[in-house]
Amino acid sequence: MTHRKIFTRSLILLCCLLFTAVPHLFAQAPTITRNDATLDFPDSVTFHLELSSSADIEQATLIYDLNQYTCLDVPSRVPVDVTGDVLEWQWVLSRSGNPPPGAELWWQWELVTRSGETITTPRQTLAFTDDRFAWQVVSANGIHVHWYKGEDVGPILLDAAVSGLQTLENDMGIELQSDVHFYIYGTSQDMRDAVLYIQDWAGGVAFNEYNIILMGVSPDIAESWGRGTVRHELAHLVLGQFGRSCIGGHRPTWLEEGLAMVVEGDPDSQTSSDLQIGIENDSFAPLRSLNGAFPAHDAAASMAYSQSYSVVQFLLDTYGQESLQTFILTLAQGEGYDEALTAVYNFNIDGLETAWRASLGLPPRQIPPTPTPLTAAQIPTIAPQGVPQSVPTPPAAAQSPPDIPATSSSVCGFGFIPLLLVGGISRRKSKTLPRKSDC
C-alpha cells in the first residue's frame, strides 16, 4: 500500500510539473474572425486582422511582398502594435510609389502568444485594380490587352502586339518569357492618375518587373499612334525578359532602341530621310557615343534613333539572329560592350561602326587611337526595371501622344533601378511632330 501511495503522489507531481512547464502544449490557437486587405487605389492598402476575444497574442508582425521579378526577394516585415483583438496597419503608397494595375500583393501574419508559441496565418493575395473603369480584355499568344474606351481599341492594339511579338520571335529568335499585360487608358490623364510620382506630360509607363505596360491611347489615334507604340514598348519589355541580368549586365542604347525600332516595322519617312541625309553628308554620330544617353536636341536625337535602327538591321542581315541572341546574352552575363562584341562578332564597337559604314558605301571614320570607353556603371540601365524602395522616386515617362492623329511613332526608352517600386518608362514623340526627344 505504501508503494502505491508513493507512486500515485509521484504521478500527480509529474502531471503538475508538465502543466506548469509547457502550458502552451495545451493552449488553443487563436480564432481569426477577419483577415483581409482593403485597397484604396492608388493611395494605400490597409491590412486588417481580427481575433477572438480569448486570443492571448503578445506580438504581431505583418509580412508582405509583391509578386514581381527580382534578383533578391526579401519580403517586408512590419511589427504591429497589439492593443486589443483588432490589428490594423496601412501601407501608405505615397511614401513608396504604387504598383501598377494588375500587380499582385501577398501577405500573412506572424503571431506570438504570451506563452511563446508562434502562429503564422495562411498566405493571402490582393490584386491591384483600378476600379474607376469597367475594363475589357482580349488576349492572344501570352499578351493581354485591357481597355475600356472605344470598341475596337483593344483588338487593334492586340493585333499590333502579336505582330510585334512575331517579329521578335521569327526574325530575332527573342521569345516571350512571361505573359505581358497592357493597360490602355482612354486618355493620358486617366493613365497619369493611376500612377503616383509620374511627370505630368507622360503618356505611358512600363513596369518591367511586373511585365505590365500602361499607356494613354484615345480611340482616334489607336491605329496611327497606338500600333507603333505598342510594338516598340513590347520590344523593350520582351528584350528585357530575354536579357535579364542579376550581375550588372547592361545593353547599349543603340542596341536597345535600334532593336525596338526594327520591331516597329519598315522604316517610316522620317527614318528613311535621316539615313539618306546621314549617307549624303557623312554626318552619322560615332557609334560609341550612342552607347549611353542619346542627344537632347530633336534633330540629333532623331538621327540617333535612325542610325541605331540601321546598325541593328545590319547585324541581323549580315550575321543572323543567333549571333544577335548570343550578343544579348553575353551582355547579360556582365561583359562590357567591346568585350561582348568581340566575343561574338570578332570586332569591337569601332569595328562594328566601320563594317556598318562600309555596307552603306561610306569610308571608315577617323577613330581616335585611345577612345574613352563608356562602361555600364557610367550610364543608366536602358531596360526599365526595379525592386521595392522606401522613398518616392519619380519614374521617367513616355511623352503623351499627339492631340491629332499621327502617321507613325517613335520611342526612346531610358530607365533605372529604384529600390521599392518599379518605375521604368519610355518616352516618345509622334514622328509628325519633332520626335525622339531626350529621355
Name the band, by pLDDT with cuts 50, 70 and 90, for residue 337. very high
Q: Check pLDDT > 80 for residue 87.
A: yes
Say if residue 92 is in the same domain as residue 183.
no
Say if residue 350 is in the same domain as residue 388.
yes
Q: How far apart are CA 274 and CA 229, in angstroms?
A: 20
pLDDT at position 404 is: 38
Locate 271 and state its grid cell.
527614318
* pLDDT tens, position by position, 246-277: 998 999 999 999 999 999 999 999 999 999 99
Q: Check pLDDT > 90 for residue 166.
A: yes
Say if residue 194 is in the same domain as residue 311.
yes
Q: Which of 73, 92, 127 is the last residue of a domain?
A: 127
Say if residue 37 is in the same domain as residue 167.
no
321 neighbors 173 (Cβ within 8 angstroms): yes
41 neighbors 128 (Cβ within 8 angstroms): yes
* pLDDT tens, position by position, 286-302: 999 999 999 988 899 99
Residue 237 maps to a domain: yes
Residue 339 maps to a domain: yes
pLDDT at position 202 is: 77
pLDDT at position 252 is: 97
Q: Which of 69, 102, 127 is the last residue of a domain?
A: 127
pLDDT at position 242 is: 96
Say if residue 81 is in the same domain as residue 220.
no
Name the band, by pLDDT with cuts 50, 70 and 90, for residue 73. confident
* pLDDT tens, position by position, 420-434: 333 333 333 333 323
Say if residue 295 is in the same domain as residue 412.
yes
205's enclosing H/E stretch is: strand 202-207
Name the band, by pLDDT with cuts 50, 70 and 90, for residue 198. confident
Task: Please tell me the total count of domains within the chain.
Answer: 2
CATH code, 58: 2.60.40.10
Say if residue 93 is in the same domain as residue 165.
no
**Which of 82-91, 154-163, 377-386 is modeled with the greatest confidence?**
154-163
Q: How far apart are CA 284 and CA 27, in angstroms?
A: 77
Residue 258 maps to a domain: yes
Q: Check pLDDT > 60 for residue 340.
A: yes
- The whole domain housing 120 covers 28-127
pLDDT at position 28 is: 57
* pLDDT tens, position by position, 200-256: 877 888 899 999 999 999 999 999 999 999 999 999 999 999 999 999 899 999 999
Vertex 416, ends 438 and 181: CA angle to 5°? 95
Residue 23 maps to a domain: no
Q: Which sign, positive or negative, has the C-alpha torsion 155, 157, 161, 164?
A: positive
CATH code, 151: 1.10.390
* pLDDT tens, position by position, 98-124: 999 999 999 999 999 999 999 999 999
Task: State the number of CA atoms in the 13 A half-sphere of 98 facing the CB.
Answer: 24
Mean pLDDT over each residue of the chain, to the nearest integer = 83
pLDDT at position 65 is: 97
pLDDT at position 154 is: 98
Residue 13 maps to a domain: no
Say if residue 298 is in the same domain as residue 153.
yes
Q: Is 432 helix (H, G, I), strand (E, B) or coil?
A: coil
Bond prior to 101 in cis (omega within 30° of 0): no
Q: How far apart are CA 107 and CA 173, in angstroms?
A: 38
pLDDT at position 335 is: 96
Q: Which of 127, 151, 171 is the last residue of a domain?
A: 127
Q: Check pLDDT > 80 for residue 384.
A: no
pLDDT at position 2 is: 57
Q: Check pLDDT > 90 for residue 16.
A: no
8 or 315, which is more confident: 315
Say if residue 281 is in the same domain as residue 338.
yes
Say if residue 64 is in the same domain as residue 154.
no
* pLDDT tens, position by position, 173-192: 999 999 999 999 999 999 99
Residue 16 maps to a domain: no
The radius of gyration computed from the CA coordinates of the chain, to the nearest angstrom, equals: 28
260 or 56, which is more confident: 260
Q: How far is CA 194 from the centre of its chain?
A: 16
Tell me the percentage of the chain whose pLDDT exceeds 90: 68
Locate 286 and state its grid cell.
560615332
Say if residue 194 is in the same domain as residue 266.
yes
Say if residue 63 is in the same domain as residue 212.
no
Residue 58 maps to a domain: yes
Residue 437 maps to a domain: no
Q: Check pLDDT > 80 for residue 408.
A: no
User: What are the angstrom distances between the C-alpha of 36 and each of 39, 86, 90, 95, 109?
Assistant: 10, 12, 12, 22, 11
Q: Check pLDDT > 50 for residue 78.
A: yes
